Amino acid sequence: MARLSATSAALLLLTATNANAGQIGFRQFSIDTEGARPLNISLWYPTDEKAPPPTIVGENPIFLGAPAMVDATPDQTRHHLIVLSHGYSSSWRNLSCLAAELAENGYVVAAPDHPGTTTFNRDPVQAAILWERPRDLSRTIDAVLADPALGPVTPDQMTPSAILWAAGRWQRSPKRGSTPGNSPTTAKAISALAPVLSPMNWDWATLHLAKTDLRDPRLVAFVTLDLGFARGFTAESLASIKAPALVIGAGIDIGGLPATLESGWLAEHLPRESTHLVMIPHAMHFSFMQRCKEGAEALIEAETPGDEIVCHDSGGRNRIQIHREVVTTIIRFLDKVLPPG
């Protein structure tokens, strides 16, 4: 189902320099390199164009979209590039509000849809080859840097680091007390992941990941949003990741993947001097997704009872307030850790 995201979104950062806030451009493109799986990529970026007026992108009957100028010409100022990696069974649409706000603040944001684990492609064979997800991100960076229309988004002043999926060595997961819990949405997501989480597939994936260096030296920092199955990473491999990390967790557990154990596992074993943990008290896992339209819960409940949880927040704060805190926290982190251009 398009609305579900059982794992986190990860933000992976490439160096360059920000522009001031302004208009947002949006476009989509595909890359189909020989010997690699095809990728569909969505891109948000600052633009100087004033017309035509923005249109809404990423909207569907459940979620609100975000305004952007489709196919507008990028401005010619240097920018940081953020690579946005969606969670299981999700897509760029579920995080388009975050992408748009980052672009409005002067970032270029590129979001590939990972084959096998995205809304419109849940091929279990593709889902099981976990090492292709970090490769998807590296290929996305390659494609953006190779596009002269984007202007000076360049790979200079790169700092060696590694993305979480590439640097963290996996065990069979879930482990260390991770259980499906009582949330129907979490249980459904874990059930859908069963072919990928099977011992045979995890042994196969772990063996391959152990033999393959998937680090991308252009990536200099990362952010995780309420990461699920984090306890599958070994403590030793997490300790080896030297890139600055912002780990954001949801304060309210919807069942089975509590942030205190998942995001908490990351924060406990990543290097303390370069890791910052932020728990959002009134947020649940799906609070990081798009805002729901009025009446969306009833539509979801009629189609797939139990999944209306994707529109629930705690009641202490609404999703607009939660998003504001998340974006503010991320931008402060980026301002602190990213090198000048």
Q: What is the pLDDT of residues 46-72, one digit of tens each?
A: 998 887 788 899 888 888 989 999 999
CATH node for 9-337:
3.40.50.1820
Q: Which residues of the chain have pLDDT under 50?
A: 1-21, 154-183, 185-186
Strand partners, 70: 26
User: What is the model's pTM?
Assistant: 0.79
- DSSP-derived letter for residue 307 is G
52: amino acid identity, one letter: P
How far apart CA 210 and CA 152 sit, in angstroms, is 36
Q: What was the pLDDT predicted at 5?
A: 35
How far apart CA 239 and CA 266 sit, in angstroms, is 9
Q: What was the pLDDT predicted at 198?
A: 57
Q: What was the pLDDT predicted at 123?
A: 73
Q: What was the pLDDT predicted at 211?
A: 57
The three-point CA angle 69-94-325 to 5° equals: 90
Q: Give the chain's length.
A: 341
- Spatial CB neighbours of 142, under 8 Å, sequence gap ≥ 6: none
Q: Mind listing the pLDDT tens digit for each residue in 290-332?
A: 888 888 888 888 888 877 888 887 767 888 899 899 999 999 9
Which helix (H) or strand (E) is 275 found in, with range?
A: strand 275-280
